Amino acid sequence: MTHFPILSLITFLPLVGALFIMAVRGDATVVAQNARSVALWTSGVNFLLSLVLWFNFDTATAAFQFEEKAEWMPVFNVTYHMGVDGISMLFVLLTTLLTPVCVLASWDSIKDRVKEYMIAFLVMETMMVGMFCALDMVLFYIFFEGVLLPMFLIIGVWGGPRRVYSAFKFFLYTLAGSVLMLLAMLAMYFDAGTTDVPALMKHAFPVAMQPWLWLAFFASFAVKVPMWPVHTWLPDAHVEAPTAGSVILAGVLLKFGGYGFLRFSLPMFPEATVMFTPLIYTLSIVAVIYTSLVALAQEDMKKLIAYSSVAHMGFVTVGAFTLTVQGIEGAIYQMLSHGVVSAALFLVVGVVYDRMHSREIAAYGGLVHRMPAYSLIFMLFMLASVGLPGTGGFVGEFLVLVGAFQANSWVALFTATGVILGAVYMLFLYRRVIFGKLTKESLMKIADMSPREMAVFAPLVVLVLWMGVYPSSFLDVMHVSVADLLKNFEAARAAAETLAVAAN
């Protein structure tokens, strides 16, 4: 390890910021103001630092980059191992981008316990970045589970009226899945003798063992994605979470599942992956169609967007398991663009929630008369969510479907119906909130977006168009890693086949 430990820096800088905030003492308003500034500065600088990753990233190699390795628990052969490849690097950037956005979005809307709130967010950033960088199973698990705590608190403390129910539901659901994953990790450790992720990727797990390991990981990842039918925690959590909590939840936490599939399930258990692909397809298609229809019936804006997230993540799981270049790249791209778009949509809801304290669709209508700039931004992200070409939403969905069509045309057919249904519920939402006459007394004085709010959206607006018009900036990062993933996958399957033949 000769180079600068940039990944550790990006991972732990927020934690330092959190400690700093913790140390702030004095008058409540001053503390709050300081906490906000420190959180913004820390996360902002962290974002700039993470750009270094992007600029110095070598798109020609599939190997892990910016690696750091240090002894940690030598008895168990556990190391502190960090590194990123083309699959994980962009998620780090997504995280570091969304955190300052969240801090800025919470500037005025959080008034109680600002200090604790900002600490929770910075701790969460550490956990999230760590999760995407971790190359050791134990380390991964710690970060993976560690995220739960700050999120649990954010929903439970700063949430809406039913926050306690939602927080527990969120916590228990995700924890229940993770327990099984922990068991599987133990089993893997006993089989392979290491917890090092790259080593595990090369290790050939016995074919008989793979389905059990796969299912255990699946239990954890499926809850995170979330896949149907373990998705019901998500709408509740979103509805009760404060705006920024929803942003992180939809923008980053949901990607843990998809990332986990690509990092663990696919490369480590290829036989089981092939075996369970029909299951994934089925659940994903149900998710796409079922949750789209449910979204159509929603009366609560946040719930509608939460359900649309489930439907969009259904595309991700389909894409990942098509085992085609387009499918997997599409899945990653869909996760990234969904990270931006759904984050923005929750912020969009947050803007009017801050003013009216209602998420009911029926409480709005005709906002365009008072809030033209807001309407325009809402329109842009609505279209991105619908997957209009030229926005980030299109590229991911399209690639996933291209991949799916090659793997199984029925899957592509059913999944593609989500594109129609998506248009229906989003346009219907937009119409009810934005268009129509402005008749409600309560809305007569509603103000358009403030400069601070525009600053929150600006980076997301740029990004969603950039991702739509010139996706190569992002796709180029993944090419080699995805190709390598598929190559190893095929090789592992071929090896298993030879073994099976030899055994006969």
Partner 1 sequence: MLYFAAVFLPLLGSAAAGVLTFLAPPVEEKERRHRYDTAAQWLTSGPLLLSTVLAWIIFFDVTMGGNARTVDLFTWIDSGALEVSWALRVDSLTAVMMIVVTTVSAMVHVYSHGYMHHDRSIPRFQSYLSLFTFFMLMLVTADNLIQLFFGWEGVGLASYLLIGFWYDKPSANAAAIKAFVVNRVGDFGFALGIFTVFVMFQSVSFDTIFAAAPDKADATIQVFGGEFHALTVACLLLFVGAMGKSAQLGLHTWLPDAMEGPTPVSALIHAATMVTAGIFMVARLSPLFEFSDTALAVVTIVGASTAIFAATVGCVQNDIKRVIAYSTCSQLGYMFFACGVSAYSAGIFHLMTHGFFKALLFLGAGSVIHAMSDEQDMRRMGGIWKSIPVTYALMWIGSIALMGLGIPGLNLGFAGFYSKDVILEAAYAAHSGVGAYAFWLGVLAAFLTAFYSGRLIFMTFHGQPRADEKVMAHVHESPMIMIAPLLVLAAGAVAAGFLGYAYFVGHDTVAFWGNSILVLDKHPALEHAHHVPTWVKLAPIVVGFGGLILSFVFYVAVPSIPGALANFFQGTYRFLLNKWYFDELYDALFVRPAFVLGRGFWKAGDGALIDGVGPDGIAAATRGIARRAGRLQSGFVYHYAFAMLIGVVVLITWYLLSHAG
Q: What is the DSSP letter of 227?
A: P
> Residue 79 contacts by C-beta under 8 Å, 6 or more apart in sequence?
69, 70, 71, 72, 136, 195, 196
Tell the smallest beta-carbon distance from residue 312 to partner 1 (Å): 16
Amino acid at 6: I
The whole-angstrom separation of Cα 447 and Cα 356 is 11
Interface map 367-386 toward partner 1 (x if CB under 8 A):
-x---xx---------x---
Phi/psi-derived region of residue 94, left when phi > 0, alpha when psi is between -120 and 50, beta in every other case: alpha
Candidates 105-113, 126-134, 140-148, 296-304: pick the segment binding partner 1 (CB under 8 A).
296-304
# binding residues, partner 1 (CB under 8 A):
60
φ and ψ at residue 384, rounded to 5 degrees: -65, -40
Candidates 4-12, 152-160, 425-433, 453-461: pick the segment binding partner 1 (CB under 8 A).
425-433
| Residue 326 in contact with partner 1, rule: CB under 8 A | yes
Q: Within positions 440 to 469, which residues make up the interface with partner 1, using CB under 8 A?
A: 469
| Residue 261 in contact with partner 1, rule: CB under 8 A | no
Q: How many CB atoms lie within 10 A of CB 409?
A: 10
**Which CB, 120 or 306, lies closer to partner 1?**
306
Tell the smallest beta-carbon distance from residue 450 to partner 1 (Å): 15
For residue 215 the two structure tokens come to: 């299912």
Q: Are 395 and 387 in contact (CB under 8 A)?
A: no
Judged by DSSP in three states, 70 sits in strand
Q: How far is CA 30 from CA 27, 157, 193, in A?
A: 5, 21, 52
Degrees, nearest 5: CA angle 255-44-343:
35
Candidates 11-19, 156-164, 345-353, 423-431: pick the segment binding partner 1 (CB under 8 A).
423-431
352-368 CB burial, b ≥16 within 10 A, e <16: bbeeeeebebebbbbbb
Q: How many CB atoms lie within 10 A of CB 469?
A: 14
Tell the smallest beta-carbon distance from residue 67 to partner 1 (Å): 27
Q: Are 285 and 229 in contact (CB under 8 A)?
A: no
Strand ranges in 8-164 using DSSP code E only, listed in sequence order: 65-73, 78-84
The whole-angstrom separation of Cα 370 and Cα 368 is 5
Tell the smallest beta-carbon distance from residue 72 to partner 1 (Å): 36
Binding residue for partner 1 (CB under 8 A) from 86, 339, 350, 366? Answer: 366
| Residue 298 in contact with partner 1, rule: CB under 8 A | yes
**Which CB, 294 or 349, lies closer to partner 1?**
294
Interface map 152-181 toward partner 1 (x if CB under 8 A):
-----------------x--xx--------
Binding residue for partner 1 (CB under 8 A) from 20, 428, 466, 489? Answer: 428
| Residue 402 in contact with partner 1, rule: CB under 8 A | yes
| Bridge partners, residue 136, by sequence | 196
**Which CB, 339 or 403, lies closer to partner 1?**
403
| Residue 315 in contact with partner 1, rule: CB under 8 A | no
Tell the smallest beta-carbon distance from residue 393 to partner 1 (Å): 11
Residues that bind partner 1 (CB under 8 A): 169, 172-173, 229-230, 232-233, 235, 290, 293-298, 324-326, 329-330, 366, 368, 372-373, 383, 388-390, 395, 398-399, 401-402, 405-406, 409-410, 412-413, 416-417, 419-421, 423-424, 427-428, 431, 434-437, 469-472, 475-476, 479
